[in-house]
Amino acid sequence: MKKIETIIRPSVFADVRQALALEGIDGLTVTEIAGIGKQEGRVGLFRGNAYTMEFSPKLKLEMVVEDNKVEDIIEALLQYASTGQVGDGKIFILPVEEAIRIRTRERGAIAVG
């Protein structure tokens, strides 16, 4: 099993979520985050005063999937999360040694689904 963590723009979430559902992903954790990278800051206005917003709002999606689904999910993320602009995000793939469903004590891939 693998854990896929991806950081995306909030504006693409609806399309990404739909693409993941088509790949059979129904278990997903979404966290609102803020980050800074090559996109750098941007200027905002508040009550007529300009200020620099260093961090950009992003969403972090986390899912644990079977190994055979990883490449299809990566392709879906690359297709639907990309705007072609700096700041589109990142995808991280991590190995998962074990998964356990607390309620039933099921282990392995069945605990994830």
- Rounded Cα distance between 62 and 41, Å, is 25
Confidence band for 11, pLDDT divided at 50, 70 and 90? very high
Which residues, other chains included, contact 88 with Cβ-Cβ below 8 Å and sequence gap of 6+? 8, 9, 81, 82
- Rounded Cα distance between 72 and 98, Å, is 22
* pLDDT tens-digit readout, 52-100: 667 789 999 999 999 999 999 999 999 999 999 988 999 999 999 999 9
Give this prediction's pTM. 0.84
Share of the chain above pLDDT 90, in %: 72
Q: What's the mean pLDDT when you consider all of the chain?
A: 91
What was the pLDDT predicted at 41?
Answer: 59
> DSSP string of 51-109?
EEE-SEEEEEEEEEE-GGGHHHHHHHHHHHH--SSTT--EEEEEE----B-TTT--BTH
